[in-house]
């Protein structure tokens, strides 16, 4: 399949025809009868099957709907890394999602450099590397791209470097109505204090966070409290990642108290998508996704009276 150049005019024109991409509010899904939150599926949940070529990226939306009964997806750029500017391929992704009534929520971006690089030129180069994914997200009808805020230097220095790179990318993404959201994903980004200070320094409504329930390992043998971290990141959240691992006999995750965590999420006023990101080793990926969905649905039902 040939790769087609995709310029800004193409994106702004085609996105309206392909999919509506209004920025997803972080606090509301709109209708009064909507559930407390809706459930999406992060593509990383099937990373083993995808890496082993047991399934293809183009079939992800179909599998999500038919196997799990979920109608919203969160892509990972690793599984279509060379297709960011391939108009035909992106159109096919859209078609397959639309054919199955699936909404494209966001793209998780990895491997494009450090947005918080200490060197100014390297920071600028990383921003450039991410722009094609902003444009691809627009075509796919996503509301955001998830990025990493990797950096180097002291705690304070890294705040400045990361905020600068994020601000540059956010200003570009804003013209496409795409949000730039940062996940706690190792290093200082897994320190809730650090990432919340980065958000304050960026100070842009289209730049926010994607709190992940499990990614709070700062370095070897140094972990940040996950409940404290999520609470600190929720004021800036435009998406939430429900990381799951293994389950006990009652169907509860063995590492995270989902009831406690979802109270933190809902107390912050968040009513957007909560993405399943299964990363367990004991269960098959398909079984783990279903177990996570069942747990989220149970917690949602239990909490509904409190937040009605």
**Which of these, 91, 143, 96, 153, lies nearest to 122 by C-alpha position?**
153
Q: Rounded to an integer, what distance in angstroms lies between the CA atom of residue 146 and that of residue 167?
A: 14
Q: Rounded to an integer, what distance in angstroms lies between the CA atom of residue 208 and that of residue 204?
A: 8
So what's the pLDDT on residue 32? 55
The answer to the question of residue 202 being in a domain is yes
So what's the pLDDT on residue 308? 81
The answer to the question of residue 28 being in a domain is no
The answer to the question of residue 169 being in a domain is yes
The answer to the question of residue 81 being in a domain is yes
Count of residues making up the chain: 308
Which residue did the predictor score with more confidence, 18 or 214? 214
The answer to the question of residue 215 being in a domain is yes
DSSP secondary-structure letter at 5?
P
Q: Rounded to an integer, what distance in angstroms lies between the CA atom of residue 245 and that of residue 279?
A: 5
Domain that holds residue 257: 8-20+38-307
What is the biggest distance separating any 2 CA atoms in the chain, rounded to whole angstroms?
54
Q: How many CB atoms lie within 10 A of CB 167?
A: 19
Which region holds residue 151: left if phi is over 0, alpha if psi is between -120 and 50, else beta? beta
Q: Rounded to an integer, what distance in angstroms lies between the CA atom of residue 274 and that of residue 300?
A: 11
| pTM metric for this prediction | 0.89
The tokens describing 204, both together, are 């842009």
Per residue in 119-137, pLDDT (tens digit) is: 999 999 999 999 999 999 9
Per residue in 72-92, pLDDT (tens digit) is: 999 999 999 999 999 999 999
The answer to the question of residue 230 being in a domain is yes
The answer to the question of residue 2 being in a domain is no
CATH number at residue 209: 3.20.20.150
Count: domains in the chain: 1
The answer to the question of residue 27 being in a domain is no
């Amino acid at each position: 399949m040939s790769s087609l150049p995709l310029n800004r005019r193409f994106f702004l024109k085609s996105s309206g025809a392909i999919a509506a991409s209004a920025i997803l509010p972080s606090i509301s899904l709109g209708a009064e009868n909507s559930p407390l939150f809706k459930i999406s599926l992060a593509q990383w949940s099937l990373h083993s099957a995808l890496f082993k070529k047991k399934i293809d990226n183009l079939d992800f939306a179909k599998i999500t709907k038919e196997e799990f009964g979920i109608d919203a997806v969160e892509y990972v750029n690793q599984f279509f890394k060379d297709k960011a500017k391939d108009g035909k391929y992106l159109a096919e992704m859209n078609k397959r999602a639309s054919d199955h009534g699936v909404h494209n929520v966001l793209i998780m971006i990895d491997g494009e450099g450090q947005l918080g690089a200490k060197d100014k030129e390297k920071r600028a180069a990383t921003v450039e590397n991410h722009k094609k994914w902003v444009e691809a997200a627009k075509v796919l009808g996503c509301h955001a791209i998830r990025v990493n805020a990797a950096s180097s230097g002291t705690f304070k220095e890294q705040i400045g470097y990361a905020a600068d790179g994020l601000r540059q990318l956010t200003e570009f993404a804003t013209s496409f109505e795409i949000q730039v959201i940062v996940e706690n994903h190792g290093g200082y980004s897994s320190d809730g204090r650090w990432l919340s200070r980065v958000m304050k320094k960026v100070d842009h409504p289209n730049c926010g966070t994607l709190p992940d329930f499990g990614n709070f390992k700062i370095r070897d043998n140094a972990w940040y409290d996950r409940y404290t971290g999520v609470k600190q990141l929720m004021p800036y959240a435009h998406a939430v990642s429900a990381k799951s691992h293994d389950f006990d006999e009652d169907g509860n995750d063995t590492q995270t108290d989902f009831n406690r965590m979802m109270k933190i999420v809902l107390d912050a006023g968040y009513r957007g998508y909560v993405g399943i990101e299964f990363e367990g080793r004991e269960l098959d990926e398909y079984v783990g996704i279903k177990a996570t969905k069942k747990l989220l649905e149970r917690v949602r039902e239990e909490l509904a009276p409190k937040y009605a």
